[in-house]
Structure 1
Amino acid sequence: MIIRDVSIEDLDSISSIEADCFPKAEAAAKEVFKERISVFPEGFLAGEIDGKIIGFINGGLTDSNSIKDEFFESMDFHNPNGKNMVIFGLDVHPNHQKKGYATELMNQFISICRDKNISNIILTCKEHLIKYYEQFGYVNEDVSESVHGGAKWYDMTLKL
């Protein structure tokens, strides 16, 4: 897998993968991805095999220590000088899951955040993924205030 920056030309592929990875109530809309790419392309990495995107990771910056649900819908809450990176999603197409691609994307993302002197990376996940994120050094901060998509989420923090 080649990990590369994302461009607006990747919008259809990214939106399609998101729809395959998340229930409709939780999946970000194409317009949301368009805004994320336009406002903060540095917060977006794509994984590509044979010229086709098979996964991606994306986020934004904030000074908050937790993720507000509104941040999933709009980059109005992105602070270019924020000390914390929020991960909105780590997606790998179902046909390519369980092959280590998500781990590669996460490791590259963490490395970039360290290079940029980001203080923390924060994300929310479902209970069955807590152990997965803990392998990177994330700490479970308990049940999140987020009710995004009507699901129960857990706040995770990686101190850099």
Structure 2
Amino acid sequence: MIIRSASIKDLDSINSIEADCFPKAEAATKEVFRERLSVFPEGFLAGEIYGQVIGFINGGLTDSNSIKDEFFESMDFHNPNGKNMVIFGLDVHPSHQKKGYAKELMKAFISMCKEKNISNVILTCKQPLIKYYEQFGYVNQDVSESVHGGSTWYDMNLKL
């Protein structure tokens, strides 16, 4: 897998992968991805195999220590000088899951954040994924205030 910066050319693939990975109530829309790619392309990595995008990771910057639900819907809350990187999503197409691609994308994203002198990387996840994110050094901060998509989420924090 090649990991590279995502671009607007990847929008259809990204949108399709998101729809395959998340329930409709939790999935970002094509318009949200378009905004993320146009406002903060530096926070968007794509993984591709043989020229086809099979996964991605994306985020934005904030000074908040937790993710507010509004951040999933709009980049109005992105702070270009924020000290914390919020991960909106880590997606790998179902046909390519369980092969280590998500791990590679996460490691690349963390490295990018370190290079940019980001203080923390924060994300929310469901309970079954807590252990997965702990392998990267994330610490569970307990149940999140987020109720995005009507689910229970846990705040995870990685100090860099």
TM-score (norm 1): 1.00
Deviation at 1:84, TM superposition (A): 0.0
Aligned length: 160
Write out aligned runs for 1:43-54 (5 A).
43-54=43-54
Residue type of the partner of 1:33?
Answer: F
Q: Distance in 1 between matches of 2:10 and 2:137?
A: 30
Question: Which SS does the other structure have where 2:79 is aligned?
Answer: coil
Other structure's SS at 2:140 match: strand
Show the 5 A alignment for 1:16-95.
Answer: 16-95=16-95
1:105 Cα deviation after fit: 0.2
- CA distance in 1 between counterparts of 2:22 and 2:128 reads 14
CA distance in 2 between partners of 1:37 and 1:143 (Å): 29
Partner SS, residue 45 of structure 2: strand
| Aligned partner letter, 1:138 | Y
Q: Secondary structure at the match of 2:117?
A: coil
Work out the CA distance in 1 between the residues paired with 2:54 and 2:105.
11
Partner of 2:8: 8
Give the RMSD, CA atoms, in angstroms: 0.2
Shift in Å at residue 62 of structure 1? 0.0
Counterpart for residue 107 of structure 2: 107
CA shift digits 1:10-50 (9 cap, x unpaired): 10000000000000000000000000000000000000001
Deviation at 1:71, TM superposition (A): 0.1
The corresponding residue for 1:123 is 123
Counterpart-to-counterpart distance in 2, 1:46 and 1:6: 5
Letter in 2 for 1:104: E
* SS of equivalent residue, structure 1 residue 48: strand
Q: Which runs of 4+ in 1 moved over 6 A?
A: none
Quote the offset at 1:134 in angstroms.
Answer: 0.1
**Structure 2 counterpart SS, 1:53:** strand
Q: Matched residues, percent identical?
A: 85
- Could you say what secondary structure the match of 1:79 adopts? coil
CA shift for structure 1 position 89: 0.1
Q: Which ranges in structure 2 are unaligned for 5 or more consecutive residues?
A: none
- Residue identity opposite 2:111 in structure 1: S
Distance 1:116 1:25 in 2: 32
